Structure 1
Amino acid sequence: MDNQNEYSSVAVTAEQIVSWPRVAAVSVMIAFSLPTFITGIEVYQGLTVPDTVWALIIGSVLLTIIGGTMGAIGAKTRLSSYLLVRIAFGDRGAGVVNLAFALSLIGWFGVNIDLFSGAVSHLLLDVFEIHIPDWPIEMAAGICMIITTIFGFKAINILASIMVPVLVVVTAMMFWAAYNQLSLEQFWYFEKSATLTLSDAVSAIVGAIIVGAIILPDITRFSKHWTGGVYTAFWAYMVVELIVLFVAAFAAAAIGQSEILSLMLGLGLGLAAFVIVIAGSWLLNSLNLYSTMLSVEATWPKITGKLYTCLFGLAGIIAAFFNILDMFIAFLSFLAAIFVPVSGVIMVDFLFVRREFYNLDSLNNNVKFSPAAFIAWLLGAALAVFSDVAFIPSFTGITVLDAVLISGIVYALLCNVWSTPVKNVEGEI
């Protein structure tokens, strides 16, 4: 997996381009992962039913807008999200941003292995009465995910294309089992108190998924046309993600369970629960590791992508093996909030400021550092981090969206009063 195979430091070539449904299959399958089901359940637990439905719709719309824009940029330029960061922030500036990307993604790789092993262990005990410690499951799962990632986007795409139809059937089974116990009309009029505000719930939905929307260029760059990025985001977030979130919320109401595995077992899914746990987690973590490799190799290309994949995959396994990830979850959430505003800078830079520089030639003559991009990023990140600990007024009521908007607006203003120096293809400033 070097630069020529996965194009971490170059643009994707015409020979690697595929139709958008194949690209969308990767993003769509992530919607079937455990974190998505858990998010749907948690939102339902905190809101009335009508507000739950509104939160799911609003969150999906916001993710579609951000993911569609980032995905279209990736498809149009043929560049990964980390090369887009280099153009917007400069070579050295991108090193800082990409390090945050890598730390967050590899951390979530370990968290998901931990979640995966606990789920499989639980299911084995409940379904087959077999007790297996978590660590062998963590080892086996991590190795499978590393091997899949080593083979690159093609292997991830093949896995997604095979498993998406299966997961659609399993999710339909989950809905039907819940529907046999609770009608949609009964669900809508189900009385319960709210412990969250609508804006808090939307923030939770967007915050849990937005990282994937920001790095969507990593897969949409393989699309034939820029519209493939829009279609991918629409089907992933506005259709499949919304359906999965709703099914999880509906099933939680039908069975009266707030824990996803107990819920699936209570609905009689049994082996079908294994499919959701194994397939969804496998692809999600393979994509996490793949994006981590792209991030690091694009910034420090001296080591091959295969070695990076193995090293970071083993680091995630070791972290999960020693069960030290609980203390890192808050830190990882902090990192996610830190780089969410990056999308605001990139979207404004491409759409309104310097679209002509989003090509490989500009990268060959790139500046080292963009002060405008960094100031905008820091202000957006500060808003995301301190919104819960200081009185900062919200423009939209959704913290992560505020951060994206602030970073984009500040960057546009700074570019008007303070021209960002970017070398042209001849190397002049």
Structure 2
Amino acid sequence: MADALAYDADSRTPVDPAQAVSGMQIGIVLIGISITLPLMYSAGELARGMGLRAAIIATLLGALSLSLMSIPAAIVGARTRLSSYMIIEHTFGYVGAKFINFGFGVFLLGWYAVTAELFGRTLFLAAGELTTLTLPEWAYTLLSSLIVTVTTIYGFKAIDRLALIAVPFLLLSLGGVVVLSLKQVAFTELLELPGSGAIDLPTGVSAVIGAAIVGVVLTPDLTRYARTTRDCVVASFVGQGGGMCIAYIVGLIPVLVWGELEPMTYMTLMGFGGLALAVLVFATWTTNVINLYSTALASRASVPLGDYRSVVIAMGVLGTLAAIVGISDQLIDFLILMGLLVPPIAGIYFADFYIFRRQDFSEAHLRERPAIKVNAVLVALGSGLVSAWLYYAGASVTSIGALDALLLSMMAYSGVELAIARSWRRRKQDD
């Protein structure tokens, strides 16, 4: 399944049902994708800004929201057997999909840059702990990005298989970090530690959702391999919900116990040393190869300039420059922004698929669509901007910006579609 997901992500044809797998298998893949350095850093910032008790509540609420938003997206994938790129094309039109994929490309490139910066920082800290090298941090960021870019061009299949080994080791290592940390300070004591107050609950929940919201919208890429609706539900709760819970909770506790935000630093303090470096490097290497691969696919889908290799190199250079500038300093703000601007895309294809197209995204239906569905594109953009304005103005309806954005886009798109349908009926009656 892993090879199919990696190499068929831009396929324009439905998946053969014979390739279908269980929801648990898809969920495990999603858990592996969730364990990343940016999420560990984000968890650490939540722990410092909110305290453990509030951070756990934010994580659980965010994970539940992600699971619930993921279910309808997963079902769209399972029933159509189409990739997210094709589903978006059905909803927004061939040209309109290019605008949407361009937006995805920007967000994915930002996520690549964040991971690249943290990858370089991890190597820099490891070099300081384990060697006598004195290179600046940006040099390690540049080196790690070069490795990731070359791997994406030539060795994706090998690194994809390496992930099957690295991710379980990462889970075991992080589990060991949590257990050893709790031997230093009791869990009940950690729960009573206050945060700095810099992050409130809605902001924390929004950060958790923003960390995985692109993955929710792109869930069909995986669940087009699901056997049944039940498998979609299992994959959503196990993968999106469970994966985020694991990623955040294992990142919350060590930061409070050891007083260090850097995973490499607190793992070295615990005596993990070289093992910590190996696990973090291989897991992050794998993750950022996938990030760069997805960025290249989205970029080529929106602006098809150059072959795959050229696009990978160009995106790798842009992402590396953003990493060296220091994009991770705004990690929480970046996650919140993603949680506000991305959900409208899902909200619109939910409404289009379930309400107006009666779950018909067939090839014949695609041929009938206009090159660009202007109202869908404008509603997606408008809903995201309005949701962002409401969130930052403190006027959120649900207190969770991502849910506001999803619901607003569904209602706005449905209203526009119904108005257009009524207008057509009146014209026919007049004629």
Band of TM-score, shorter chain: 0.7 to 0.9
Choose from 23, 27, 31 the match for 1:28: 31
Deviation at 1:5, TM superposition (A): 5.0
Aligned to 2:149: 146
2:382 matched to 1:379? yes
Aligned to 1:87: 90
Partner SS, residue 203 of structure 2: helix
Equivalent position amino acid for 2:38 in 1: P
What is the distance in 2 between the residues matched to 1:194 and 1:324?
24
What is the distance in 1 between the residues matched to 2:40 and 2:165?
21
Aligned to 2:102: 99
Question: In 2 relative to 1, CA 186–318 (structure 1 residues): closer, same or farther, beyond 3 Å?
Answer: closer
2:162 matched to 1:189? no
Aligned to 1:425: none
2:141 matched to 1:131? no
Q: 2:205, 2:400 within 8 Å by CA — same for their partners in 1? A: yes
Deviation at 1:81, TM superposition (A): 1.9
Aligned to 1:401: 403
What is the distance in 1 between the residues matched to 2:67 and 2:159?
22
Partner SS, residue 41 of structure 2: helix
Give unmatched runs, 5+ long, in structure 1: 422-429
Give unmatched runs, 5+ long, in structure 2: 424-431
Deviation at 1:192, TM superposition (A): 5.1
2:116 matched to 1:109? no
Report runs of 4+ in structure 1 exceeding 6 Å deviation: 326-333
Aligned to 2:314: 311
2:83 matched to 1:75? no
What is the distance in 2 between the residues matched to 1:372 and 1:101?
19
Partner SS, residue 291 of structure 2: helix
2:341 matched to 1:338? yes
Equivalent position amino acid for 2:272 in 1: L
Choose from 414, 418, 423 the match for 1:416: 418
Aligned to 2:427: none
Deviates most, 144-153 or 324-333: 324-333
2:12 matched to 1:10? yes
What is the distance in 1 between the residues matched to 2:371 and 2:345?
17
What is the distance in 1 between the residues matched to 2:209 and 2:70?
11
Deviation at 1:174, TM superposition (A): 0.9
Question: In 2 relative to 1, CA 189–385 (structure 1 residues): closer, same or farther, beyond 3 Å?
Answer: closer
Partner SS, residue 56 of structure 1: helix
Q: 1:22, 1:161 within 8 Å by CA — same for their partners in 2? A: no
What is the distance in 2 between the residues matched to 1:177 and 1:420?
64
What is the distance in 2 between the residues matched to 1:419 and 1:275?
58
Aligned to 1:271: 274
Deviates most, 45-54 or 93-102: 45-54
Deviates most, 377-386 or 18-27: 18-27
Deviation at 1:348, TM superposition (A): 2.1
What is the distance in 1 between the residues matched to 2:297 and 2:280?
26
Deviation at 1:411, TM superposition (A): 1.2
Higher helix share: 2
2:61 matched to 1:58? yes
What CA deviation, in whole Å up to 9, does each residue of 1:224-279 have, x standing for no partner? Answer: 44544433332223223202311221112222334444333333332243245313
Deviation at 1:357, TM superposition (A): 3.5
Q: 2:156, 2:289 within 8 Å by CA — same for their partners in 1? A: no
Choose from 215, 228, 231 the match for 1:212: 215
What CA deviation, in whole Å up to 9, does each residue of 1:164-193 have, x standing for no partner? Answer: 211111111111120110122222334556
Choose from 94, 119, 123 the match for 2:122: 119
Aligned to 1:427: none
Report the TM-score, using the length of structure 2 for normalisation: 0.84
Aligned to 1:293: 296
What is the distance in 1 between the residues matched to 2:124 and 2:63?
32
What is the distance in 2 between the residues matched to 1:374 and 1:354?
17
Equivalent position amino acid for 1:112 in 2: T
Deviation at 1:57, TM superposition (A): 0.7
Deviation at 1:150, TM superposition (A): 4.2
Provide the aligned length of Structure 1 versus Structure 2.
Answer: 417
Aligned to 2:371: 368
Over aligned residues, Cα RMSD in angstroms?
3.3
Percent identity reads: 25
1:209-248 correspondence runs (5 A): 209-248=212-251
Q: 1:11, 1:77 within 8 Å by CA — same for their partners in 2? A: no
Equivalent position amino acid for 2:421 in 1: S
What is the distance in 1 between the residues matched to 2:377 and 2:400?
22
Partner SS, residue 174 of structure 1: helix
Question: In 2 relative to 1, CA 149–354 (structure 1 residues): closer, same or farther, beyond 3 Å?
Answer: farther
Equivalent position amino acid for 2:219 in 1: L
Report the TM-score, using the length of structure 1 for normalisation: 0.84
Aligned to 1:424: none
What is the distance in 2 between the residues matched to 1:290 and 1:420?
43
